[in-house]
Amino acid sequence: MTPPRLLAAGVMLAAIASPAAADRLPDLPALDLSQADTSVIGVSSGGYMATQLAVAWPERFSGLAVLGAGPWSCAQGTLRRALGQCMTTRLGPPDLAELEQRLAGYRELDRVGSAEALSGLRAFVWHGSVDETVAPALGAALAEQLGTWLEAPDEQLRFVESEGIGHGWPIGHRDTPPPATELGDCRQGGGTHLLSCGLEIADEAMNWLHGGAQGEEGTGELIHFDQRDFAVKGLDDSGYLFVPDACHEGGCELTVALHGCAMGAEQIGELFVRHSGLNEWAAANDRVVLYPQAETSLANPQGCWDWWGFAESTWQLDPLHDSRDGTQVRALMGMIDRLQEAATPR
């Protein structure tokens, strides 16, 4: 048996010799991105978080796309509501009038953006008609909620319910699709939640938010970056960033893409960040895509984004996860700020 002192010395030498420091991932870069046309798209818990971001900071976003999720602040800080009114509706549908009162209270305290800023948003809401994880009625409720906020909902809002599709992110037939074994069933969902449906939902959403593809096919780089500069409860140590070749010198716009529960890199590797369809659209339209990553934990075993309050202080009776004071909201906005900063000259 190795003597304790020699064992300790061996551990220290191994740490010194470890290449971990040399292999540290790059930091999220400052790319001097435009602030004029920023959008956020999310699925499932990422859809709930996308709406939280857009409501908290509507002056910072021009477009919102939500797949397979329900109304803003649906859970109101409780897991019971999250499970019983915002995934199923066994406790009844969410009360939109009650949620409007919550929004008004936040607005009085400057915890969300102004009604005027929110009214200018362009929005896309999608749900599968046979979604058994988040009831389709909740997507319709989100569309109804958004319709009361937007200045011209008939022109700014598109709501799509696709027949025969379950819970997840539908993809079509790209030139480099993921292996069929890595795809979820279109109707039943499951697996990676990338659904083999012959529907490129990324194209449909992005075309609605940003006026359709303007360029030819392009190329870009997927960067795996160190996310620890933005560390808060529930965030993983690393994230991903897709940068088209034309965007390294600044001036491009940004889309934030938020994965759903059980869809982070910790669980399905790089399948979502490579095969969502967003990168191809972004490369053709000079748009950077940020893929922040959530992590699993005892409180959050599926690696969801915080849409019910688990990441806030345990003593808070009314978590502020759905406001500007939410810890994950602040972290995500910090990433956006970094990408929109001008690079420091070397």
Percent of the chain residues topping a pLDDT of 70: 90
Distances (CA, A) of 22 to 16, 19, 25: 11, 5, 9
Contact yes or no for 311/328 (Cβ under 8 A): yes
Q: How many CA atoms lie within 13 A of 62 on its CB side?
A: 13
Instruction: Tell me the C-alpha distance between 172 and 195, whole Å.
Output: 9
Residues 6+ apart with CB under 8 A from 255: 38, 39, 40, 41, 206, 278, 282, 287, 288, 289, 290
Instruction: Tell me the C-alpha distance between 169 and 198, whole Å.
Output: 11
Lowest mean pLDDT among 107-111, 159-163, 314-318: 314-318
Mean pLDDT over all residues of the chain?
91
Write the pLDDT tens digit of every residue in 217-226: 889 999 999 9
pTM of the model: 0.91
Nearest to residue 50, comparing CAs of 34, 70, 30, 65?
Answer: 65
The pLDDT, as a whole number, for residue 91 is: 97
Residues 6+ apart with CB under 8 A from 260: 42, 43, 44, 45, 46, 47, 68, 168, 169, 193, 304
Distance of CA 229 to the CA centre of its chain: 18
SS3 category, 306: coil
Residues 6+ apart with CB under 8 A from 314: none
Instruction: Tell me the C-alpha distance between 332 and 236, whole Å.
Output: 12
Write the pLDDT tens digit of every residue in 10-59: 333 333 333 444 588 999 999 999 999 999 999 999 999 999 999 999 99
Instruction: Tell me the C-alpha distance between 48 and 104, whole Å.
Output: 19
315 falls in which pLDDT band (50, 70, 90)? low
Radius of gyration of the chain (CA): 20
CA dihedral 169, 304, 181, 183 (to 10 degrees): -10
Distances (CA, A) of 237 to 197, 266, 280: 32, 10, 26
Percent of the chain residues topping a pLDDT of 90: 81
| Dihedral sign, Cα of residue 171, residue 183, residue 310, residue 76 | positive
The pLDDT, as a whole number, for residue 19 is: 41
* Alpha-helical segments (H) within 217-326: 265-268, 271-275, 278-284
The pLDDT, as a whole number, for residue 2 is: 39
